[in-house]
A and B are shown apart, each in its own frame.
Chain A
Amino acid sequence: MPQIHNRIALFRAERGMSRRELAETVGVNPQTIGYLERGDYSPSLELGMKIAQAFDLPVELVFSFTPFESVAAALRRAAE
Chain B
Amino acid sequence: MSKFNERLFAKLDAASERTGIPALARHEVRRRHLRWIPIFALALAIGGWIWGLARPDATQLGYAAISAGFALGVFLPIFGPIKAWGTPGADEFDRQLRQRAFLAGFATVAFTAFLGLWLTLALTLIGNWSRDVLIGQIANFAYMLFVLYLTVPTLYASWTTQPADED
Q: List residues of chain A with CB under 8 Å of any chain B CB.
A: 18-20, 27-35, 38, 40-41, 43-44, 47
Contacts and interface: CB of A to CB of B under 8 A. Distances in A.
Interface stretch (B87-95, B109-117, B138-146, B149-157): B87-95
B28 interface: no
Interface of B: 89, 91-94, 96, 161-167
Contacts of A43: 92
A28 B91 contact: yes
13 contacts: A19-B166, A20-B167, A28-B92, A28-B93, A29-B93, A32-B93, A32-B164, A33-B164, A34-B164, A34-B166, A38-B164, A40-B162, A44-B92
A19 B164 CA distance: 11
Contacts of B94: 29, 32
A19 B92 contact: no
A19 to B, nearest CB: 5
Given A29-B93, A31-B164, A43-B92, 17 more contacts: A18-B167, A19-B165, A20-B166, A27-B91, A28-B92, A29-B89, A30-B164, A32-B91, A32-B94, A32-B164, A33-B164, A34-B164, A34-B165, A38-B164, A40-B161, A40-B164, A41-B93
A41 B162 CA distance: 11
A34 B93 CA distance: 11
A40 B165 CA distance: 13
Nearest to A26: B91
Contacts of A32: 91-94, 164
Contacts of A20: 166-167
A43 to B, nearest CB: 7
Nearest to A41: B93
A32 B89 CA distance: 12
Among all A-B residue pairs, the 6 with the closest Cβ atoms: A34-B164, A30-B166, A28-B91, A32-B93, A31-B164, A18-B167
Nearest to A18: B167
B108 to A, nearest CB: 23
A38 B164 CA distance: 9
